[in-house]
């Protein structure tokens, strides 16, 4: 099957390579990558045979919105666009209206797998019409991980791929997936910190590694923490600063809107905000209050810190 891939970064480039290994023809475009096959979006559309399929794998937000809008003006009725970035599901619903007015198909695809997806495959959560998904199913089949087999050797359905519902359902599913990921990483991080804080534990990396087999908390994330500790046993080369890409915030927003309690995911999101503060204004206020009502000692700002420019 022929596919146009817009965006050849760490994810898009590896996805294009995995598809080529599976026998599909991929025409790639990226504004800056030397691996591109064409020099423009019009050139990409021209290089593809109708009905065209184009996968958009660029940063979420305005870059994605601008790319999708331009494609809507370049493509012909019957063509399909798959939007695979970490977009908010409400953007997909806006794009779907635009595409339907022009006779174009639109699919949103939540993609998980990171830099390991080239070899291991990508978990795919897609939203769109049944007809549009069926048109591009060979692409999804090539990207997803190999299906596990039952005792008789038959492939078990569902693993690594789901048609979650109409347009928007794919990115909504990926949003919740990433919210859960936030909470899992936070729990592993807190456990690591406690192990490292006590003198009783002499081999912190070894304890974490021991959890990867036979325990109920084993996971791929835990395997990656073991890998990180193997490279840097005390994580001294890494600053404790964690960004959030948006999905955690959107998950909590939807929890509020739908009155679904999510204390763990919400706490993990707020912990990321805390990681960006060298000196917490909240805790300054707490210290001042303790001093005011109880006379508790406060720590003064060191002279060199007080002299820092604002």
C-alpha distances (whole Å) from 110 to each of 91, 161, 297 are: 13, 10, 51
Q: Which two tokens stand for residue 279?
A: 């000196």
Looking at residue 152, its pLDDT comes to 79
Q: Which two tokens stand for residue 53?
A: 């399929």
Domains and CATH numbers, the chain: 2-167 (3.40.50.720), 175-274 (1.10.1040.10), 279-310 (no CATH)
The answer to whether the CB of 229 falls within 8 A of the CB of 235 is yes
Q: Which of 139, 135, 131 is nearest to 51 (CA)?
A: 135
Looking at residue 303, its pLDDT comes to 47
Looking at residue 158, its pLDDT comes to 66
In 127-258, which ranges are continuous DSSP H helix? 130-143, 169-197, 204-210, 220-231, 247-257
Segment 98-120 shows an average pLDDT of 93
Question: 230-268: per-residue pLDDT in tens?
Answer: 999 988 888 887 877 788 899 999 999 999 999 999 999
Which pLDDT band, with edges at 50, 70 and 90, does 304 fall under? Answer: very low
Question: 115-149: per-residue pLDDT in tens?
Answer: 889 999 999 999 999 999 999 999 999 999 987 77
Distance CA 132, CA 52 (A): 12
Residues assigned a catalytic role: 174, 181
Q: Which two tokens stand for residue 110?
A: 């939540």
Question: 16-48: per-residue pLDDT in tens?
Answer: 999 999 999 999 999 888 889 999 999 999 999
What's the predicted TM-score (pTM) here?
Answer: 0.87
Work out the mean pLDDT of the chain and round it to a whole number: 90
The answer to whether the CB of 25 falls within 8 A of the CB of 55 is no
Contacts of 15 (CB under 8 A, 6+ apart): 5, 55, 57, 84, 111, 117, 118, 122, 143
| 26: phi then psi, degrees, rounded to nearest 5 | -120, 125
Distance CA 173, CA 89 (A): 9
Higher pLDDT, 278 or 73: 73
* pLDDT for 192 beyond 80: yes
Query: What is the percent of the chain with per-residue pLDDT over 70, rounded to a whole number?
Result: 95
């Amino acid at each position: 099957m022929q596919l146009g891939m817009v965006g050849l970064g760490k994810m898009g480039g590896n996805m294009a390579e995995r598809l080529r290994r599976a026998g599909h023809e991929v025409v790639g475009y990226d504004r800056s990558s030397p691996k591109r096959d064409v020099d423009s979006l019009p050139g990409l559309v021209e290089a593809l045979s109708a009905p065209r399929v184009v996968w958009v794998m660029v940063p979420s937000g305005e870059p994605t919105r601008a790319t999708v809008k331009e494609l809507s003006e370049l493509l012909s009725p019957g063509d399909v666009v798959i939007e695979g970035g970490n977009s908010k599901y409400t953007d997909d619903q806006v794009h779907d209206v635009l595409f339907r007015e022009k006779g174009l198909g639109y699919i949103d695809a939540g993609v998980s797998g990171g830099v390991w997806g080239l070899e291991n495959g990508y978990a795919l959560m897609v939203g769109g019409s049944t007809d549009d998904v069926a048109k591009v199913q060979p692409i999804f089949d090539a990207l997803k991980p190999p299906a596990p087999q039952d005792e008789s050797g038959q492939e078990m359905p569902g693993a690594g791929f789901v048609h979650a519902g109409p347009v928007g359902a794919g990115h909504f599913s990926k949003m919740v997936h990433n919210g859960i990921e936030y909470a899992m990483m936070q729990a592993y991080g807190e456990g690591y910190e406690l192990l490292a804080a006590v003198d009783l534990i002499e081999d912190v990396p070894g304890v974490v590694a021991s959890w990867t087999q036979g325990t109920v908390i084993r996971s791929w994330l835990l395997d990656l923490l073991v890998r990180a500790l193997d490279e840097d046993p005390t994580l001294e080369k890494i600053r404790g600063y964690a960004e959030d890409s948006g999905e955690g915030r959107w998950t909590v927003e939807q929890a509020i809107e739908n009155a679904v309690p999510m204390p763990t995911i919400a706490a993990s999101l707020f912990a990321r905000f805390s990681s960006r503060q060298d000196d917490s204004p909240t805790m300054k206020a707490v210290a001042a209050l303790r001093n005011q009502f109880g006379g508790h000692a406060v720590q003064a700002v060191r002279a060199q810190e007080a002299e820092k420019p604002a």
